[in-house]
Amino acid sequence: MESSKQSSWVERSLRSVWHPCTQMQHHESVPLIPVSHGRGAWLYDHEGRRYLDAISSWWVNLFGHANPRINAALKDQLDRLEHAMLAGFTHEPVIELSEQLSALTGHVLGHTFYASDGASAVEIALKMSFHAWRNGGQGDKQEFVCLKGSYHGETIGALAVTDVALFKDAYGPLLRASHVVASPDARGALEGETAQDVARRAAADVERLFNERAGRIAAIIVEPLVQCATGMAMHDPLYLTLLRELCDRHQVHLIADEIAVGCGRSGTFFACQQAGVWPDFLCLSKGISGGYLPLSLVMTREEIYQAFYSADVTRGFLHSHSYTGNPLACRAALATLQIFRDDDVLAQNRVRARRLTDALAPLANHERVRHFRNRGMIWAFDAVDVDASFSRRFFASALEHEVLMRPIGPTVYMMPPFILDDDETALLGARTLAVFEQVLKGQAMAPTDATKVQEKGAGK
């Protein structure tokens, strides 16, 4: 009966739902999993099979599915206010969230504008940057700069500052051209170079461009510390320090897209903190609501805010979304921030990170692995000599091993929720190794008895 129910949900979904970031024809061979419910780090299908959510459901879930504390906050908010427009009105959750986020930056970024998804936040930052310059009498500053391999979303403006061909090329005729500068990806180190050397080379490329075009450049946008969608390309914090200096010297705004790397994912609450700098615009989404509800935001400085403050309506930032600052989403975010404080999450994550790094040691030393790397609660490695089907085969095999993982090309990565216990950590390490080796052999088998022994009874 459960198997029939499972098949029915799959068939109905394939008939009516157009799934994101998916070539739908691939579901003729790649499994589609109908989720029944979630608990903690696990998702369950209608047949009772479970899947360890090792990528936090596209990098959004921080404290597990059906988290009791976030659930309780949302249930309380439901009986108070589900939504009210934020133009001409305000409410407690959005005020308190804005105040708390500002405090986390030492009030350097004291003004927060809200939207519902990461790409929308990037669009807001781009528009704010251009408009602030125009309001300040520098209307020629209309150009934007992004990094090689960068990803900032798939709406038209965000896609224009994205440099991933798979997402961008089909829509090239619709996009405004941006400048693309060298990535500080530490994997690009030449013989004898360090990650800081790569950061300096990349910053020098930005400096050359700024020397030529700064009078026409509004902003440079960067994913601090980790360029996620291009294959978890990690760079040294020095790059951000140098970038901040260049932006100050040449009067160019710095936009930090912390949609994936913020909210503790990179090891500090904001990734930019590891470089000791603050951007002019900071974009958050994904983890800010704990993975519960669509919410994004842009934080900015007092001088940016003042550039729009005027009796002249045309100088205002006339951008809006119907669900801007939704009370339920803001309440989920407040509950998320409370968990960070109550559980000393950043300190606990350092312990969790060491344990998972230890569990992944056999992969770090594997002969078919290059560039094993870690930043905060992000792990990645590159598979050597694999074919174009590697990522799909890995995904399917991982599901058979009760793990949800979606490699990016040859790059296997993990971004688990911040709640894995020792057993779940051991399980993730052992099964990632088992899946990797079986995919290399062209097989996709169920967990072996030997694998289960390695897991030490993990994952009840």
The tokens of 48 are what? 């009772």
pLDDT tier for residue 3 given thresholds of 50, 70 and 90: confident
Q: Give which of 369, 370, 407 is closest to 388, Cα–Cα.
A: 407
> The tokens of 67 are what?
């988290």
- pLDDT tens for 113-145 read 999 999 999 999 999 999 999 999 999 999 999
Q: Which residues pair with 413 in a beta bridge?
A: 380
The pTM score is: 0.95
Percent of all residues in the chain with a pLDDT value above 90, rounded to a whole number: 93
Summarize pLDDT for 57-116 with one digit per residue, the tens. Answer: 999 999 999 999 999 999 999 999 999 999 999 999 999 999 999 999 999 999 999 999
Alpha carbons 94 and 88: distance in angstroms, whole number: 14
Residue range 180-211, pLDDT digits in tens: 999 999 999 999 999 999 999 999 999 999 99
d(CA 109, CA 279): 8
C-alpha distances in angstroms, 342 versus 337, 346, 347?
Answer: 9, 11, 12
Dist CA 460 CA 457 (whole Å): 8
CA distances from 56 to 96, 150, 231, 366, 393 (A): 26, 21, 16, 25, 20
**The length of the chain, given as a count of residues:** 460
d(Cα 138, Cα 210) in Å, to the nearest integer? 16
Q: In the structure, what pLDDT confidence band is assigned to residue 5 with cuts at 50, 70 and 90?
A: confident
Tell which residue, 322, 338, 255, 323, has the closest CA to residue 289. Answer: 338
295-336 pLDDT, tens digit each = 999 999 999 999 999 999 999 999 999 999 999 999 999 999
- Calculate the alpha carbon distances from 47 to 33, 35, 390, 422, 459 in Å: 10, 10, 27, 26, 18
**DSSP track, 431-444:** HHHHHHHHHHTT--
As a whole number, the mean pLDDT across the chain is 94
3-class secondary structure, 152 = coil
